[in-house]
């Protein structure tokens, strides 16, 4: 997905409401069983309604403030995995003249992988496991962050009575990298 036509694009207003969707938005939502994120459902809503976890919302608010006040653009690497694919992506956030922002997600690399039940959004459970919203590693009870495949084994997912649901957080590595990126312009 290197051409602009294949980017997933959206814009937010100065008060962080989604004002437009473009590019590959709907096909990507369909591919990820997220058809509920249609234009009529998303446009007009606060972007914060779609970002899971208070840590992640806080970090994005810091990044948005940085772009609006100090830098015209920031690029953030992240992952957007599905049960059968690893997707390495980049989100570019660009300041607009009216304090709004353009956000453009671009797929850098995609890898097929065996089905991973932990990433299946259709799973229903009361057992929660934390996933890093940026790199998609899973936090174990020990506090260590590992790839999904290792987490499935370590957590004994296939031996459990139910499959865990994912709650969203951010690992120390991704948080430090994002905060370092923000701090670059303040020095």
pLDDT tens-digit readout, 2-43: 334 478 999 999 999 999 998 888 888 888 777 778 788 899
Does position 160 have pLDDT exceeding 50, yes or no?
A: yes
Calpha distance 44→18 (Å, rounded): 5
Q: What is the pLDDT of residue 92?
A: 96
pLDDT at 40: 84
Instruction: Look at residue 36 in the predicted model and tell me its pLDDT.
Output: 79
Q: Name the strand (E) or helix (H) holding 138.
A: strand 138-139
Strands 8-12 and 101-112: antiparallel
pLDDT number for residue 1: 37
pLDDT at 64: 95
87, two tokens: 């997707």
Domains of the chain: 4-184 (3.30.450.20)
Average pLDDT over residues 94-112: 95
Q: How sure is the predictor about 164, in pLDDT bands with cuts at 50, 70 and 90?
A: confident
Angle between helices 172-184 and 54-69 (to 10 degrees): 10
Least confident of 41-45, 50-54, 100-104: 50-54
Look at residues 39, 38, 28 and name the one whose alpha carbon lies nearest to residue 5: 28
What is the share, in percent, of the chain residues with pLDDT greater than 90?
47
Mean pLDDT of 124-128: 73
pLDDT at position 2, please? 38
- Assess contact for 49 and 18: CB atoms under 8 A: no
Tokens of 153: 């084994």
Q: What is the pLDDT of residues 131-141, one digit of tens each?
A: 998 999 999 98
Smallest CA-to-CA distance from 136 within 77, 178, 50 is with 77
3 state DSSP class of 109: strand
> What is the average pLDDT score of the chain?
86
Angle at 2 between CA 23 and CA 31, to 5 degrees: 55
The yes-or-no verdict on residue 59 having pLDDT over 70 is yes
Cα(16)–Cα(64) distance, integer angstroms: 9
């Amino acid at each position: 997905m290197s051409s602009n036509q294949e980017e997933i694009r959206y814009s937010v207003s100065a008060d962080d409401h989604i004002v437009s969707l473009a590019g590959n938005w709907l096909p990507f939502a369909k591919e990820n069983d997220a058809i509920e994120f249609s234009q009529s459902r998303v446009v007009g809503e606060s972007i914060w309604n779609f970002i899971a976890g208070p840590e992640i919302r806080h970090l994005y608010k810091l990044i948005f403030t940085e772009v609006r006040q100090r830098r015209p653009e920031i690029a953030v690497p992240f992952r957007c995995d599905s049960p059968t694919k690893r997707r390495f992506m980049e989100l570019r956030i660009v300041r607009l003249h009216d304090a709004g922002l353009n956000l453009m997600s671009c797929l850098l690399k995609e890898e097929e992988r065996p089905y991973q039940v932990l990433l299946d959004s259709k799973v229903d459970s009361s057992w929660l496991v934390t996933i890093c919203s940026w790199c998609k590693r899973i936090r174990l009870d020990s506090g260590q962050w590992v790839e999904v495949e290792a987490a499935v084994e370590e957590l004994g997912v296939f031996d459990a009575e139910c499959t865990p649901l994912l709650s969203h957080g951010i690992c120390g590595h991704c948080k430090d990298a994002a905060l370092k990126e923000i701090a670059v312009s303040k020095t």
